[in-house]
Chains A and B, each alone.
Chain A
Amino acid sequence: MYLTKVINTKNCMQPLLHRIQFDNDETAFKEFYKENVFRLFQFAFAFARNKELSEEIVNDVFLKLWQHRSKLNKIKNIQVYLYVSVKNTAFNYSRKNTGRKNMGIEEISTDHFYLSPDQEQILMTDELKKQIEQSINQLPPKCKLVFKMIKEDGLSIAEVAVILGISYKTVSTQLSIALKKLALLLQPSLKEHEIKI
C-alpha cells in the first residue's frame, strides 16, 4: 500500500507542539486540535456512547494539554498520550455517572465499521466487500476495537497495548483472530488464487 493512514502526520506534530509549548501559539494549538480531534471523538464515543459527552471528554483532554503545555516536550508519544487521556477521562465520567468502579474493556463496543477497499490497489466485488465488512463487524468487541485502532487510527501493536492497558501479546492475538476470520471468509477466493499461480 503506498500511503499508510493519515496518521503518519503524527511525526509532523512536532513543529506544532513546539509552537504550543514555547510560543504559547494558540493558532498552532487550534491546528493541532483539528488534526487529532475527530479520531479521538470516535475513540471517546466507543466508551461514552453519547455525542455530547464524547465532545466534552475530548475537550477536557485538550484543555488539560493546553494548561500543562509547558511540559509538552516531556511526552514521548503524543498519540498514545492523547488516547490514554481520553480513555481515562471517559472512565472517570462513567464512574461518576454510574457509580461503577471499573469499566472493563469488554464494555466498549465500536460503532459499525465501514471499510472501503482502495480501488486503485485491488478490485473487489461489492458482494465481497459487504462480506468482509460483515465479518469484521461481527468480531468480538475487543478484537474489533483492536482491528479498528490498527487499521483506521494507524496505531502500532505496542501503542494499542499501552492505550488499552492490555498486553502486547493480547493485542497481537486479537489481530491474528481477525485475520484468521478473514482468511476463513475468503477461502473460496484464496483457493482461486492458489490455482491461478
Chain B
Amino acid sequence: MSFFQTNKESMIKSRIVELMAKKIGKEASKDELDELSELLLKNPGYAYLLEIVLSLKGSRNHFERDLPQEELVDHGWQHLADKLNLQPLVDDDTVSVEKRGRIKNIIYSRRFWLAAATVAVFLGCSMFLYKTYFGPQQLAEGKKLKETHYGTVANLILADGSKVWLNAGSKLLYPDKFSGSQREVTLEGEGFFEVTKKPNMPFLVHAGKITVKVLGTKFNVKAYTEDADIETTLISGKVQVMLNDDPEKEILLSPNEKLTVIKPLAINATSAQINNELKYQVQALPVAANNNLTETAWVSNRLVLNNEAFDNVAKLLERKFDVHVFFDNDKLKDEHLTGVFEKENIQEVLDVLKMTTHFRYRIDGNNIHLY
C-alpha cells in the first residue's frame, strides 16, 4: 500500500516541478497555470518554493567587480562608434551606388553622420537649455542625465543598485555616486523606481513641485511638465510625499494608493489672484492584478486603459508611439475608453478602440487626426 502512495506522491511532485518550470520559462498555458495553482494549494511547501524562485533575481554585478556596468557599455560603444564611421550601408538597393566607388560612399556617409551628429548635439543642447526646470543649472561634476525620446522606454541602474524605468519623453538627473545623508535624483516626465533599502540614507525624487521620499520600495512618479497634475503611485513599501510649497505637509502613501497633485495654474496677467495652493487627492487603487494597473502598465510596455478620457489616451499614445494626435472633433475628447494593449501598433490600437467607441481616424505620416 505504502509503495503505491509514495509512487503517486513522487508523480505529483514531478508534475508540480514540471509545471513550475513551464511557468518560470514563460511557456505555461492557462490550463497549466490553473492546474499548478490547484496543486500548490494542496502542497503549500511547493508554493513556498515557487515564491522563492520567482523572487530570485540574478545580480548583474558579477561580470566585472571593479568596472561598473555603465563604464563597460560606454567603453564598448566608443570602440564600435569608431568602426561605424567607416562602414557603408550594405543594401541591395544601394549596390549600384557602392559600385560607383566605395570611397565616394564612405565620404558621403561620414559627412552625413557628422551633420546628423551635429544636429543632434545642437538639438540636445537647445532643448536642455530650453527646459527651464533644469534652467540655469549646468550639469555639475559627477552628475549624469538620462533622457528618453517619445516612443522609447529606458531603464538604468543607479550607483546604489536602485532601478529606474524611464517612460517616453522623460529626463532623470542623477549623481554617479551617492554621498552624504540622502540619495537624490531629479525627474521630469515619468519614472518607475525600484529603490534599494538603505535606512540611513533615504532616497529622494524631486519632481517639479513635489519631492518623494522613500526608504526602499517600488513606486511610479508621473510628472510631465505639460500635464496638469503630478501622480505618484505606490506599489510596495512606503513613501512620504512632500509638497515643496508647503513643507509642513507630508503625505504618507501605503501600497496601491495613488496621489494626484494638481499643479497651480500659471500666473495669468488678467487674474486678480494667484492661486498657489497645491491641491491633492489620495485614492486607493483596485488591488487585483497589479500588472494591469494603468499607472504602471508602461513599465512592462503595456497600455492599460480603464475608462480613460480620450484626450488623456491621446497623450499616452503620443508618448508611446511618438506621434501627434489631433482632435478634429472636440467632443471626442470626453469619450471614455477601455482596453489593454501590448504588442499592437498605433493603427491596430485605433482599430480596436473604434470597435467600441464611435470615431474615425486618418493617419498622415506621424500625425493622427480623429473625427
The yes or no verdict on A and B being binding partners is yes
Q: Which residues of A contact B (CB under 8 A)?
A: 1-6, 8-9, 11-12, 14-16, 24, 26-28, 30-31, 33-35, 37-38, 41-42, 45, 51, 55, 58-59, 62-63, 66-70, 111-122, 124, 132, 148, 150-152, 156-158, 160, 171-172, 175-176, 179-180, 182-183, 186, 189-191, 193-194, 196-197
Closest to A146 in B: B25
Question: Given that A67-B90, A114-B59, A151-B58 are known contacts, is A30 also in contact with B155, CB under 8 Å in the complex?
Answer: no
Across the interface, which residues of B come within 8 angstroms of A2, CB to CB? 218, 235-236, 290-291
| Partner among A59, A112, A121 whose Cβ is within 8 Å of the Cβ of B76 | A59
Q: B274-289 interface mask toward A, CB cutoff 8 Å, 1 = contact, 0 = none?
A: 0000000000000000
Bound complex: CA A121 to CA B54 (Å): 9
Instruction: Write 25 A-B pairs (CB below 8 A) sorted by A numbering.
Output: A2-B290, A3-B299, A8-B300, A9-B155, A11-B301, A12-B153, A33-B73, A35-B154, A37-B77, A42-B63, A58-B76, A66-B84, A67-B89, A70-B91, A114-B62, A115-B58, A119-B216, A122-B55, A132-B52, A148-B58, A152-B58, A172-B21, A179-B20, A179-B21, A179-B24
Measured CB to CB, the closest approach of chain A to B49, in angstroms, equals 6
| Partner among A3, A33, A172, A194 whose Cβ is within 8 Å of the Cβ of B25 | A172
Interface status of B31 (Cβ within 8 A of chain A) = no
Bound complex: CA A112 to CA B24 (Å): 21
- Dominant secondary structure of chain A at its interface with chain B: helix
Q: Which residues of B contact A (CB under 8 A)?
A: 13, 17-18, 20-22, 24-27, 43-49, 51-64, 69, 72-73, 75-77, 79-81, 83-84, 87, 89-93, 112-113, 116-117, 120, 151-155, 163, 194, 197, 216-218, 235-237, 290-291, 299-301, 321-322, 342-343, 345
Across the interface, which residues of A come within 8 angstroms of B342, CB to CB? 11
Measured CB to CB, the closest approach of chain B to A34, in angstroms, equals 5
Across the interface, which residues of A come within 8 angstroms of B83, CB to CB? 59, 63
Bound complex: CA A160 to CA B236 (Å): 32
Q: Are B87 and A66 in contact (CB under 8 A)?
A: yes
